[in-house]
Amino acid sequence: MSQRAYDQAKVDGLDEEILDFRHKAVPASLHGMSIGALAARRLGLAELQTPLLTLDESAMDFNARLLAAWCDDHGVLLAPHGKTTMSPELWARQIELGAWGMTLANAAQLRVARAFGFTRLMLANSLTDPQAIRWAAGQAEDGARIVSWVDSAETVALLERELAGHGTLDVIVERGGAGGRTGARSHEEALSIARTVHASAALRLVGVGGYEGALAHTADDAGLGAVRGYLGEVARLHGELLAEGLYDADEVLVTAGGSAYFDDVVEVLAPVRDAGGTGRPRVEIVLRSGAYIIHDDGFYRGISPFSRQDPDGEQSFRPAMHAWVRVVSQPEPGLAILEGGKRDLPFDEGLPVPQLISDGLGEPATELRKAEITAVNDQHAFLRFAEGTEIRPGQVIRLGLSHPCTALDKWTLIPVLDTVADPERAAVVGAVRTFF
């Protein structure tokens, strides 16, 4: 499967990239070295420079295998949302573990996937740019399948106009929810859109879906109630399309599920699965979780189905990303200024949390207590700490982060650490290239 799903040689070729000024985690002393050579040398953290974002190899591997096994156990497919990492190397890892394909958010991200030979792609969005529409339709000639979304009659008309003479596209009708993001806001509207797609010569209706994460941000009764009610509407829409015979494919995709509520998605949508048969398409549930492979110490730590009850449990996802920043100033009592800011660290789902402090990268660290980051500027963070805590310029602080989707996008190259062989002195065993 993997050899047909992506171009192994192009993914492996990432190791040949030469490190230089474009990679802000890499000091000048390592410029001219390839990524592959960097990994082979198993450098220590001390040979890198701050500010720095790192990934933990064992945590990523554990997370990827955990969800892959869970999906297999529950009989659902996984099309991880690649926008989280924009890393063809990590996408390939997910495909190797059985992912149906990759999900992406826009045409630029689709082009990255196609550049590395990924052939089964879902665009969790509507195509409305004329050039992107024609390009996506043309990818079928190279053996790729792109499934995009529609949520209005106007979008259907736009696609038909731009596709005239340029091929066809597979589409999913997106059911939205009040106050959510995209998607038809009513059952009747979504049903009408599906009928229009079915009647189109340029489009094939291959499924229904949407995104429940836009309707809730908590795992309390109110949040879960909103999510489950919405998912019930997705299932209802699918049932009517099936009954009317509006699907144009032998395999129908019913898709939802980010990294926060995938258990609810499967529980609510599982009854619509169908192995198919005479006159009936096969119906598959497709999850699109993306953040799980990286996880975090913030938002997802609290809301993930695997960690709501016990974030540190043996079967909970493990945070695979951390930032390392130096103290650049200690200008007044109880305040330290750190070198990492909005250009380096995520802040939209909670500010970074100080965890450890040491005298240098790779040096023995101790827990940093009674300290918090209260604000971030473009390139700096404000660390407030209690009286009696000693912090001085040059020290290194490890930060726990929240929201991988807005962490990895700030780095073109992210060192990957082996924290198992020697937890005290983690070695660099690889580097992830991102293409945001």
* Sequence-ordered alpha helix ranges (H) in 139-259: 153-163, 187-198, 221-244
- Model pLDDT, residue 1: 42
- Model pLDDT, residue 423: 67
Whether the Cβ atoms of residue 167 and residue 138 lie closer than 8 Å to each other: yes
Could you report the average pLDDT of every consecutive run of 10 residues in the chain (436 residues)? 78 98 95 97 95 98 98 98 98 98 98 98 97 96 96 98 94 95 97 98 97 94 96 98 97 96 96 91 98 97 93 95 98 97 98 97 94 98 96 98 98 96 84 98
Angle in degrees, CA 75, 78, 80, rounded to 5: 165
> How distant is the alpha carbon of residue 117 from its chain centre?
19
The ranges of the chain annotated as CATH 3.20.20.10 are 119-289
- Counted residue by residue, the chain has a size of 436
CA distance 194 to 188: 10
Q: Classify 210 in phi/psi space as left (phi over 0), alpha (psi -120 to 50) or beta.
A: left
- Model pLDDT, residue 425: 81
CATH node for 119-289: 3.20.20.10
Contacts of 8 (CB under 8 A, 6+ apart): 2, 92, 117
- Model pLDDT, residue 165: 85
Of 424, 376, 368, 426, the residue nearest 396 (C-alpha): 368
Whether the Cβ atoms of residue 298 and residue 400 lie closer than 8 Å to each other: yes
- Model pLDDT, residue 309: 86
* Lookup: tokens for 223: 């949040």
Cα distances from 71 to residues 147, 151, 303, in angstroms, run 21, 28, 18
Q: What is the DSSP string of 76-99?
A: -EE--BGGGT--HHHHHHHHHTT-
- Model pLDDT, residue 46: 94
- Model pLDDT, residue 4: 66
- What CATH class does 2-56+315-433 carry? mainly beta
Q: At what angle do helices 88-96 and 107-115 cross, to 10 degrees?
A: 70
Of 133, 368, 365, 402, the residue nearest 291 (C-alpha): 402
pLDDT tens across 255-298, in order? Answer: 999 999 999 999 999 999 999 888 899 999 999 999 999 999 99
For the chain, give percent helix, strand, coil, nearest 5: 35, 25, 40
The ranges of the chain annotated as CATH 2.40.37.20 are 2-56+315-433
